[in-house]
Amino acid sequence: MPRLFGTDGVRGVANKELLPELAFKLGRAVGFLAVEEGKGKVLVGRDPRISGEMLSAALTAGLTSAGADCLDLGIIPTPAVALICRQMEADFGAVISASHNLYDDNGIKFFDKNGMKLSEEDEERIAAYVVDDSGQFVADELPRPVGDKVGRVYSVSDAKDRYADFLLSTADFSLDGYKIVVDCANGATSEVAPKVYESLGAKVILINADPDGVNINRSCGSTHPEQLQEAVVRSGAHAGIAHDGDGDRVIFVDEQGAIVDGDKQLAITAIDLLKNNMLPNNAIAATVYSNLGLKDCLSSFGGTVYFTENGDRNVLREMIDRGLILGGEQSGHIIHANYNLTGDGILSAIRLLEIMVRSKAPLSELAAQMTPFPQLLVSVKVKDKKKIMTSEFVLEAIRKGQEEMGREGRLFVRPSGTEPVVRIMGEAKDITVVRRIVNEVATAVASADKAEDE
C-alpha cells in the first residue's frame, strides 16, 4: 500500500496534492473507526490558512457520512485540540494545518482520545480504510448510515476559552512589570496568545497577529524571528516570543535580541527542574539534531539527555518509555508531559517565563548556561546519491571521521531527500577538528563521485 501519512500527518499543496476528495475519504475512515470502536465523536480544528475551510468542510462531510459526530473547534492552536480531546472524551482529534509552512501547503494530522499524535501503526490502520495495496481508494466501500444515523456537526463556541483557561491554570506567577513582544506568525495563536500573556500581567507588544489566510508564517514567526529580534531591542522588552502557524512551537529572543532556540529552552527548564529535584530520572529526551552542547550542559548539573530519531512523536515515545516529563526539538517544539502530551508553544513559553520571574534573572543569563558546540555543514553535489553512500572509499572516510570525533563529537553523512547532494555535518567542542574531519569526508565524497566518470 502506498504510504499515505508522512512524518506529521498527511501533507501537500492544498487542492493539488492534498485534495478535498482525499480529506473526505480520510474523514470517512476516521469516522468509521470512531463509530465502530468508540463514541462516534471527532474534534476538528484548523489554522487560518485559506485552504483550511475547504479541507475542513470535506473532512467533516466524510466524518458525518460515516455516522460520526463532528465537534468543530474552528481556528485554534494544535495543542488545544489535543487538550480538548481529553476534556470532551472524543475518539479522535483532527487538525488541518501545515504548521510552519507557507499558506499554499496544508495538512491533516490526528490525535487519539488521550491527546497523543497517532502512532505509525494507527496511521496505517486508518490508511487501510482509505486506499488499498494497489493505490485504489476504498473509503467509498465503508458503510453509509442513513436517517438519524448520519453524523451531526456541533460548534464548540468556547474552545479558545477552554484552552486559555487551561494555560492560565498552570501559571502561579505574575508578569506584572514585564514587557514582552509576541509574534503570532499570523496564525492560530493570534487571539489566544496575547490574551494569556496579558492575563498574567505582561505588557504585550503584538506583531504579526492579523491573519488573512495567505500571510501565515510569511517572513515571521518561529522560522523567521528577524522582525521579533528588531522589535525586542527597539522597545527595550524583557523578551520576545515567536510562535509558528499552528502554535506547537516557540522560539524566544532575549533582551539583547539573541535567539533562544529549543535546545536552550530545554536546558533552562531542565536545569531549573534539576535544582528543585523535580526532573524524573534526572533526564530529558531530545532528537539527534539537538546540539551536543545540551548534553554537555545538563551533564554538568547531573542530568542526562536521551536522544531519539527526528520527530516529536519519537520524542514523546521515549519520554513515556522512560517516565520523563520534558523533551523536545531544537525547532522549539517542546513537550511538557505533565501538562499536555504534544508540543505546546504557549505552555512552553509560560514555563520559561515562570523561571525568569522566579529567578529574577534576564533571559540572556539563563540562556548562557548552555554553550552550543560548533557545527559545520557542507553539501557536496553528486550524480548518484545511492552509489556514493555505498562507496567503500566514502564509508571508510566516514568511519575514520566518526572514530576521531569520539564521544565528544559526532559526524552525520546523509543524502538529501530532495536534492542531488550529500550533506556532511560535524559537531564537536573544537571547531578546528570539526572543520578538518568534515572537509576530509567531503573530499572523499567528491573523489568517489568523480571516479564514477572514469
* For range 295-315, the mean pLDDT: 94
39 half-sphere exposure, CB direction, 13 A CA radius = 14
Residue 200 in 3-state DSSP? coil
Statement: residue 215 has pLDDT above 80: yes
Q: Distances from the Cα of 287 to the Cαs of 252, 366, 388, 390, in angstroms? A: 19, 22, 26, 26
Domains of the chain listed by start with CATH number: 10-157 (3.40.120.10), 162-367 (3.40.120.10), 375-451 (3.30.310.50)
Residue 139 is predicted with a pLDDT of 77
Q: CB–CB of 181/251 below 8 Å?
A: no
Q: What burial class does residue 342 get, using C-beta atoms within 10 Å of its C-beta: 0-12 exposed, 13-18 middle, 19+ buried?
A: buried
Statement: residue 239 has pLDDT above 90: yes
What is the largest distance, in Å, between two alpha-carbon atoms of the chain?
73
The C-alpha cell that represents 223 in the structure block: 522560522
**Active site (annotated) includes residue 359:** no
Rounded to whole angstroms, the Cα distance separating 205 from 180 reads 6
Q: CB–CB of 245/50 below 8 Å?
A: no
pLDDT band at 140 (very low <50, low <70, confident <90, very high): confident
Rounded to whole angstroms, the Cα distance separating 180 from 177 reads 10
- The residue to which cell 502512532 is assigned: 119
Statement: residue 280 has pLDDT above 60: yes
For the ranges 39-48, 69-78, 139-148, the lowest mean pLDDT is seen at 139-148
Residue tagged active-site, from 99, 290, 331, 348: 99
Residue 335 is predicted with a pLDDT of 98
Rounded to whole angstroms, the Cα distance separating 272 from 121 reads 36
Rounded to whole angstroms, the Cα distance separating 53 from 1 reads 29
pLDDT band at 284 (very low <50, low <70, confident <90, very high): very high
The C-alpha cell that represents 95 in the structure block: 487538525
Average pLDDT across the chain, whole number = 95
Rounded to whole angstroms, the Cα distance separating 303 from 173 reads 26
The DSSP annotation for 95-117 comes to: EE--TTS-TTEEEEEEE-TTS-B
User: What letters, b where the CB count within 10 A reaches 16 and e where it falls short, cover 107-118?
Assistant: bbbbbbbebbbb
Statement: residue 9 has pLDDT above 80: yes
Residue 137 is predicted with a pLDDT of 75
Mark out the alpha helices in 334-416 (DSSP H runs).
345-359, 363-367, 385-388, 392-405
